[in-house]
Chain A
Amino acid sequence: MKVWVFAEATDDKVTTATLELLTKAREIGSEVEAIYSGSGDTAAIAATVGSYGATKLHTMDPGDGLPGQVAAAPIAALVGTDNPDVILFAQTYDGRDALGRLSVRLDKPVLTNGMSLSVDGDSLLFGTAIFGGVVLVDVKLKDAAPALIAIRPKSFAAEESGGSAAEVVPLPAADSGRAAEARVLARHVEEQQGPKLEEATVVVSGGRGIGAAENYEPLVEELAKLLKGAWGASRAIVDAGWVPYALQVGQTGKTVKPKLYIALGISGATQHLVGMKNSDNIVAVNKDGEAPIFSVADLGIVGDVHKVVPALIELLKAKS
C-alpha cells in the first residue's frame, strides 16, 4: 500500500501531528511519501520526515497563498500519475483546507476526526468517536483509491524509523484557479510562554467558573507556571473573548493528552471532553458537584476555585 502524508511544519520544524501520521503510514503501508507546502527549509524537513520513514518529500512554496489550499491542485495532478492508496492529513487548519479542496478535485469522500486506522485484508478500517467520544464508530471505505483521511492529533504515538533523508522532489505545476487569490498579507505570532499545550506534561485549563477574564492570569496561568505546564481554556471563555482562540482545548480547539490535566471552573461539555479525556490523570475543581467533568476526573474537588486555587498556589510556593 502506498501512503502519502500531508506534512506540516512550524518554521523549519515538522509538527508532532505529522510525525504521528508518518509512524502510522509505515505501519499500514509499504511505501511512505510526504508532501510539504510551505516556505520552510526543505532539506531540514526532508531529514526529519525521512527519519520517520518517508522516502520522498514532494514540495512546493505557496508564496503568500494559503498553503493547504494552493497545494490541492498539484497534489491532484500527482495523484493522477503516482496512484497512492491513502493520503493522510492532520485535522488542522491547513490540513482541512488541503483535504477539502482535494476531495472536490478528485471527487472523493473524506473521512475526518480519525482516531484509529488499520488494514483489513485489502481494505482500510477507519475509527472515529462521536457524541463527545462516548460512542466509537468503525468505517470501511468502499471507494476506489485514494482514500482521503484526516486524523486528530495525539491519536498515534510518533516513533522514528531511523531512515535517511527523504529525496526532495518538486510537486508538479498546476493551476489552482481562484483558490490562489487568497493572499496572506501579514502573519501574527501570539507569543506563548512556557511549553506548548499539545506537548506539556501538565495542562491547567480555565472555564466560565473562574468568573471573569482578569481571574485567568492569577488562577490558571499562575498554577500552570508553578507546575511547569501549559495553560488552556474551555470554548466558553474563548467565545467570551477572555483568552485567545489558540488556547482552546476541545473538539474545535486542541487535543491534549498530558500526564496531568487540571480543569478549573469547567463544567465538562462534550465539546471540551473530546479534547482532554484521554489525559493520563484528570483533576477538576468546580462548585457544581453534578458537573459532567467529575465523571472523568480522578480527583474532583467540589468547591470554589477562588478559594481552592489560591490556597493550592500558596501551598505549592511554600514547598518550592
Chain B
Amino acid sequence: MNVAVCVKQIPDPAVPGSLSADHTLDRSGKLILDESDSYGVEMALQLVDAAGGGEVTLISMAPNEEVSGLRTALAMGAAKAILVSDPALAGSDALSTAKVLAKSIERAGDIDLVLAATESSDGYTGTVPAQIAQLLDWPALTFSKHVEIADGKVKVQRQTEAGYDEVEASLPAVVSVTAGVVEPRYPSFKGIMAAKNKPVDKVTASDLGLEASQVGWEGARQEITNVEQAPARQAGEKFEDDGTGAEKLVAFLEQLKVV
C-alpha cells in the first residue's frame, strides 16, 4: 500500500511570528516540520508496515527550496518526497495549495491513501484535505482520531461535536488526522543519515500543469487592507502562593458572584 502524506514546513512556532512586507507569513528563517504533520507521517509508516508492503511519499509545497522539515520526515522513515517550490506560489491560499498538492499526488502516481493534518499550525484553515479530495474526486474522512485499513477500505473514528462517528470509505481516499492520533517516533541516527540520500523530486507549478493565475496571490483573489496589533488584554494581579492562594481565589469568585 502506498501512502502520500501532505506535510508543511513552517517557521518555528516557538519564535514569535511576523509578516513580510506583502503581508504573507515571513518564512525566511529556519523552517521545521509542522508538528501536526508528524502524526500523519507516523500513521502512514504504521499503515504501510501493517499492510506488509508499499512506501510513504511526502508531498510538500514551499516558496523557497526549503527541505529541512522534509528531511525530518524522511528520517522518520518516509521513502521519498515531492517538493513543489516556486516563487509563483507565494501568497497561495488554501484552494491554490490544494490544487498544487492534488497535482503532486497525481504526479506521485499509484497512491492508495493520502494523509494530512486537519489543519496546519500556522495557517489553520482546515479545509485543504476536503479540497484535495474534491479535486481528485476521492472520498474524504476528515478530523480522524483513529485510522485502520482492511479489505481495500479505510475506517476511521471521525471527531464530531458530540463524540465521534465510525466512518468508512473505499480506497483511494483522503484522511485528515487530529494531533495525538499516534505517538510520532523520533528519527534514529541511522534514519537521519539515510534521509540525506533519499530522493526529493523538486518541481515547479508549471511542471504540474498549473498556471500562475491559479496559484499564489492571483489565485487567492483577495487583498489585505489592514494589519494591526490587537488591543492587548491587561494582565491583572499575580501572587506567589504563600498558603493564601485559595483564599484569594475565593475572594475573586465572590466578587464575580459565581459563588
B167→A10 contact, CB < 8 A: no
B1-31 toward A: CB 8 Å interface, digit per residue (1/0)? 0000000000001001101000100000000
Q: Is the C-beta of A143 less than 8 angstroms from some C-beta in chain B? A: yes
Given the known inter-chain contacts A93-B161, A131-B17, please indicate yes or no for A109 contacting B167, CB distance below 8 A: no
How distant is the Cα of A312 from the Cα of B158 in the complex, in angstroms?
38
A139→B140 contact, CB < 8 A: no
Do most interface residues of chain A lie in helix, strand or loop, or is the interface mixed? mixed
A300→B167 contact, CB < 8 A: no
A47-75 toward B: CB 8 Å interface, digit per residue (1/0)? 00000000000000000001011001000
Do most interface residues of chain B lie in helix, strand or loop, or is the interface mixed? mixed
Q: Is the C-beta of B252 less than 8 angstroms from some C-beta in chain A? A: yes
A109→B128 contact, CB < 8 A: no
Contact of A93 among B124, B159, B226, B233 (CB under 8 A): B159
The chain A residue with its CB closest to the CB of B171 is A181
Q: Is the C-beta of A199 less than 8 angstroms from some C-beta in chain B? A: no
**Total interface residues in chain A, CB < 8 Å:** 98
Q: Is the C-beta of B44 less than 8 angstroms from some C-beta in chain A? A: no
Given the known inter-chain contacts A101-B130, A125-B225, A183-B168, please indicate yes or no for A109 contacting B94, CB distance below 8 A: yes
A246→B159 contact, CB < 8 A: yes
- Chain B residues with Cβ below 8 Å from A99 are 127, 130
Q: How far is the CB of A281 from chain B (nearest CB, A)?
A: 6
Q: Is the C-beta of A212 less than 8 angstroms from some C-beta in chain B? A: no
Q: Which residues of B approach A to under 8 Å, CB–CB?
A: 13, 16-17, 19, 23, 93-96, 98, 118-119, 121, 124-131, 133-135, 137-143, 145, 155, 157-170, 173, 178-180, 219-230, 233, 235-241, 245-250, 252-253, 256, 258-259
7 A-B pairs within 8 Å (CB atoms) are namely A97-B140, A99-B127, A100-B134, A101-B140, A259-B256, A289-B238, A303-B240
